[in-house]
Amino acid sequence: MKLIILLLCVFLVAHRTSGMSEKQLKATKKLVRNTCQNKSKATSEAIDAMQKGDFNQDKNAQCYIYCIMSTYNLLNKDMIFDWEGGIKALRANAPPHIADPGAVTIENCRDAIKTKNDQCIAATEIARCLYQDNPSNYFLP
């Protein structure tokens, strides 16, 4: 819980300034990864595979993606992808070289959810779309 509060504080501070530096962005991604990996029990190998576009992973890895999506308030329990909020947060916090193409990718993936009865699979569908739309700019931890 303390880690999530720290993450929120980092986002609030970054939001009040001109966005996160590369160093802050990297630290935040590491914090979210560690928090969600511990929560979901996903292996480092599965997470690393997803970073390379292999989303055919076990349920723990899929729930890791859901944890990330819910941490960033991108996906709620009703399976609603807040892509507009995602774009706003990305533009407010990420450097322009990540935010600009990332915003396009998020909009391109606004209808990525096909599975409406499993939040972990739904989150993985979004993540897969984000990766496939622009692999070089995949920004989830």
CA dist 71 and 11 (Å) reads 11
**Phi, psi (degrees; rounded to nearest 5) at 81:** -85, 115
Is the overall model pTM greater than 0.85, yes or no?
Answer: no
CA dist 26 and 94 (Å) reads 10
Q: Which residues contact residue 140 at a Cβ distance below 8 angstroms, ignoring those fewer than 6 apart? A: 65, 68, 127, 130
Read off the pLDDT of residues 65-113 as tens digits, 9 standing for 90 and up: 999 999 988 998 788 999 999 999 889 888 888 889 999 999 999 999 9
| CATH code, residues 2-137 | 1.10.238.20
DSSP H/E element including 69:
helix 59-71
Read off the pLDDT of residues 36-78 as tens digits, 9 standing for 90 and up: 999 999 999 999 999 999 999 999 999 999 999 999 889 987 8
Read off the pLDDT of residues 9-32 as tens digits, 9 standing for 90 and up: 444 444 444 567 778 778 888 999
- How do the domains of the chain map onto residue ranges? 2-137
